[in-house]
Amino acid sequence: MTKRELVRAVQKDVKDGKDRRQVFETYKEQFPKPVHLAAAIAGIAKAEERKKYQGLNLVLVVLLVLAGLLKAVGVWVVLSASSMALAGVLSLISLLVPLAFAFEVNRFTGGMYGLLTILCGMGMVNILARFQGDFIGTGIDFVLLGAIMALSIVLRKKLFPGLKLLSVKTDGSGTYVLG
């Protein structure tokens, strides 16, 4: 089996309701690094938690799509006067990245929430570093990124209790917390 097939088998077993610890023990010999297996297992939200936080997750998806659209329009406005082709390509790229995150967040992919938190934090620092007196535009960007960041933190903690920002939690004995 390839690594991708292994991960899919693990995800299927967890989604089918098998005990997470038992799934870990079954597949751990097939993974060179057990932390990758633990992350795959901990990155799957429980069905009841998915239902409980589906509305809040949808808000995050909508905010990501809105951020992508606003970014694409901003890139288009800045670059369209000099090069329509460059403006079109960069606008499309600036739209595709947030849409890719929105797609994965909509699928409840656990690893995306931590990465999204880090990228939003970096974006907020960038906004503050490039501030030039435009309080309204900067405020809109900052609030939008702050809302995305806050939602990604809350949802990661609620949906994926076994995940840290970019890794898997361990208990006092060094055993992975699998959710």
Together in a domain, 151 and 172? no
Q: What is the pTM of this model?
A: 0.88
CA 148 to chain centre: 10
Let me know whether 62 and 95 are in one domain.
yes
- Taking CA atoms, 49 is separated from 24, 71, 80, 156, 169, in Å, by 21, 32, 45, 11, 19
Q: Are residues 150 and 85 in the same domain?
A: yes
| Number of domains present in the structure of the chain | 2
User: pLDDT tier at 22 (50, 70, 90 boundaries)?
Assistant: very high
pLDDT confidence bin for 99, thresholds 50/70/90: very high
Range of the domain at 7: 1-43+162-179
What's the confidence (pLDDT) of residue 10?
92
- Whether residues 23 and 103 share a domain: the answer is no
DSSP character at residue 44: S
- 77 and 149 share one domain: yes
Residues 58 and 21 in one domain: no
**Encoding tokens for residue 126?**
């960038």
Using DSSP's 3-state secondary structure scheme, residue 93 falls into: helix
CA proximity to 47, closest of 14, 83, 3: 14
